[in-house]
Structure 1
């Protein structure tokens, strides 16, 4: 399911940008493709509908998942049969449709994972989902661009459609999470207002939201400017691609998988602590790289530590958010929390370039390192969250 989630993302991003550029589409039009990602940030608006309504086949989660994957596969085929050089607007509209149904698929799979897995398996489940998600992104981006050079973009998109279509077999074979129909929202108030009211009436709800916003703040802001940082040290595009994108992918997967195993052993709350400290240490590693300068060995070491720590932190963070959701409103609440989680990456990271110009790279990465402290302080203060994330086993 993670692979099915990660696959469509970059088919409407970097791969489509390359196709449109090769087709002679203007740079202004290619730049507007960034707007195609809007559904990923607004998915909380329609997520509650997936809690309320159930299709007459396969159950509440698998029914919607199968329909969404069928529509996604069809739209990817339609995109493959389009011509970005002759009809760029049509390509943009189809890509927006792919983005919408891809975001919808994410909503359903997040809800499925929360409802199907027992509490003690949320960490390893989130880890394996993220593992598949990143693999799907690699297939679509790196694999897609390499395929395009040998068989062309049209055949590449048709290949990706077949791969996504095969994921429907998983949907058909997977068990439907057990949920009583009486737990489903029954009216519009239950659908849209009760999930928010249910969350906000919990003790420390606003602190929970603030923690979700701050936990990966430093990591997100630092990651937004790593490529310009590498370039400033004299690394070539080929060196960055080989070391950061290809070599660094494997420590990321290793961190995700290891993080899931650690969460299974020590619980979500303690894992958030340890992984948060590791993220701080790995971010500080960029200061070391800045002083060493152009060294492939040090670059590989820093990237490995950063990606491994980020993978562990992501696994724990996804499990934490899943544990917070009420199973009556799983889709709506998780979509809202994940949208809040994405704010640092999309909004708060934007002025990072201004900050780095003002204080230099050492000061920038030091600030990013220290930015993790407020989130960890909130985690320490609300130690009772351990009862939410790691209920005692019977």
Structure 2
């Protein structure tokens, strides 16, 4: 297919793409507040590394969101929000609850009221994962097949902006404000998402599906909502390998990422250095990587792009080993963070596009939730041992080990590249072209 600059520009000027950018912002905002920003908070409070690693278990809802995705995919939102439509109605309900959960988390003390703190954090993660289900389905259903690449880029860029605010912004705010006001400030950003949701049109697929669900009996509804999405996904050749790949592709990055802020603190970097280098500078590198990832996918295809990005993601972890060996060198920190974030953006653009390509239009929310749940399982449950691993070895050895943990995902990618393709693409029950 001939590349058209006019068509590309027209696609990116589409108001729906800018709405999706905003969707990505509110989707990415809560994640850092239960991961990177949280580990920084805990490290500053003197919590030991093993306990910090265990707080990665707050990400468990992301790993199991496919269990309640059928409900959000097929049930109307509670009144009066149901009048907005299924996607818009659930989005507003979830975002209101998420604001309350963030305030509760900020009000708790990780040392004095640990149980309350953990429950509030778990609530934030559950609601954030639920928001992702709705927003991802909204994004895929709003766009035509040839617009999905622009949508993937927009959601990724918005997601990174949200994580910048709740990462660098929150860490910077913590130097001047109590943590309650930091988390209250993050909660105050969520109405941006509500406004964008209210100005977006409910997808036609959602309205049609809701009408069918209302007419269906209980047994038929259960089959449509719960059974059909999983049976449909199992029609993919090598579907078990596809699920394992979703789990392991970013496993090495997840293990290293959960301990990144404790590593920076232990190395002696200040809050200002961490915020400016790892967040603001890192965001620029991620944006460039995401744009490059989209171009790479367009130029050489999804599978080859995933291979290149996967190898680069693993290799850049060695720069953190070099940083650990050299001490608190800000220039070397910038090099390591820049390279890591660039390759992370490269891989994320290809990864999101590939996972989206595996989803049937008829079961968008549930199938995409299943795939991203497995990705989150590697980020949360499996990576919860990252703190223990860091306690057993020095930082140099730790980051070398995270490089090796990328190998299983690359081996699965080699296998997936040899699987037959499911055609035709992007019809209900089928997927987009994913040829290597």
State whether TM-score is above 0.5.
Answer: yes
Question: For structure 2, which runs of at least 5 residues remain unmatched after alignment?
Answer: 1-22, 426-430
Structure 1 residues 214 and 247: CA distance shift in structure 2, 3 A: same
Select between 360-369 and 48-57 the one with higher mean Cα deviation.
Answer: 360-369
Question: Corresponding residue for 2:231?
Answer: 197
Aligned mate of 2:85, from 51, 59, 64: 59
Structure 1 residues 354 and 264: CA distance shift in structure 2, 3 A: same
User: Per-residue CA shift, 1:61-97, capped at 9, x if unaligned?
Assistant: 11211221122234445666x5659976555544433
Structure 1 residues 172 and 274: CA distance shift in structure 2, 3 A: same
Select between 329-338 and 173-182 the one with higher mean Cα deviation.
Answer: 173-182
Structure 1 residues 324 and 8: CA distance shift in structure 2, 3 A: same
Select between 186-195 and 89-98 the one with higher mean Cα deviation.
Answer: 89-98
Question: Is 1:331 matched up with 2:368?
Answer: no
Distance in 1, matches of 2:369 and 2:257, equals 23
The 5-angstrom pairing of residues 242-253 of structure 1 reads 243-253=277-287
Structure 1 residues 373 and 75: CA distance shift in structure 2, 3 A: closer
Conservation of the 8 A alpha-carbon contact between 1:120 and 1:390: no
Distance in 2, matches of 1:64 and 1:251, equals 34
Question: Corresponding residue for 1:2?
Answer: 24
Aligned mate of 2:343, from 290, 295, 309: 309
Tell me the secondary structure at the aligned position of residue 8 of structure 1: helix
Structure 1 residues 174 and 342: CA distance shift in structure 2, 3 A: same
Aligned mate of 2:122, from 76, 85, 96: 96
Q: CA shift at 1:310, angstroms?
A: 1.1
Distance in 1, matches of 2:402 and 2:120, equals 40
Select between 238-247 and 120-129 the one with higher mean Cα deviation.
Answer: 238-247
Select between 195-204 and 149-158 the one with higher mean Cα deviation.
Answer: 149-158
Q: CA shift at 1:259, angstroms?
A: 1.9
Distance in 1, matches of 2:334 and 2:355, equals 31
Tell me the secondary structure at the aligned position of residue 187 of structure 1: helix
Distance in 1, matches of 2:166 and 2:33, equals 6
Question: Corresponding residue for 2:3?
Answer: none
Aligned mate of 2:418, from 376, 381, 392: 381
Conservation of the 8 A alpha-carbon contact between 1:251 and 1:308: yes
User: Per-residue CA shift, 1:186-214, capped at 9, x if unaligned?
Assistant: 42232222211111133221222233233
Structure 1 residues 104 and 76: CA distance shift in structure 2, 3 A: same
Distance in 2, matches of 1:214 and 1:296, equals 31
Question: Corresponding residue for 2:70?
Answer: 48
User: Per-residue CA shift, 1:147-198, capped at 9, x if unaligned?
Assistant: 3444544444443333212321100111222212366584223222221111
Conservation of the 8 A alpha-carbon contact between 2:256 and 2:402: yes
RMSD: 4.1
Question: Corresponding residue for 2:240?
Answer: 206
User: Per-residue CA shift, 1:37-67, capped at 9, x if unaligned?
Assistant: 4322221211111111123322221121122
Distance in 2, matches of 1:268 and 1:171, equals 30
Question: Corresponding residue for 1:125?
Answer: 151
Provide the aligned length of Structure 1 versus Structure 2. Answer: 387
Distance in 2, matches of 1:41 and 1:307, equals 23
* Structure 1 length-normalised TM: 0.80
Question: Corresponding residue for 2:19?
Answer: none
Aligned mate of 1:346, from 359, 363, 380: 380
Distance in 2, matches of 1:229 and 1:90, equals 27
Question: Corresponding residue for 2:15?
Answer: none
Q: CA shift at 1:382, angstroms?
A: 2.6
Distance in 2, matches of 1:156 and 1:283, equals 30
Distance in 2, matches of 1:107 and 1:317, equals 17
Q: CA shift at 1:308, angstroms?
A: 0.6
Conservation of the 8 A alpha-carbon contact between 2:245 and 2:409: no
Distance in 1, matches of 2:407 and 2:365, equals 33
* Structure 2 length-normalised TM: 0.73
Distance in 2, matches of 1:92 and 1:214, equals 27
Question: For structure 1, which runs of at least 5 residues remain unmatched after alignment?
Answer: none
Conservation of the 8 A alpha-carbon contact between 1:267 and 1:389: no
Distance in 2, matches of 1:18 and 1:251, equals 21
Conservation of the 8 A alpha-carbon contact between 2:26 and 2:192: no
Q: CA shift at 1:19, angstroms?
A: 7.6
Q: CA shift at 1:265, angstroms?
A: 5.2
Select between 110-119 and 9-18 the one with higher mean Cα deviation.
Answer: 9-18
The 5-angstrom pairing of residues 69-218 of structure 1 reads 69-77=95-103, 82=107, 84=109, 92-179=118-205, 180-181=208-209, 186-218=220-252
Distance in 2, matches of 1:226 and 1:151, equals 23
Distance in 1, matches of 2:71 and 2:200, equals 22
Question: Is 1:390 matched up with 2:433?
Answer: yes
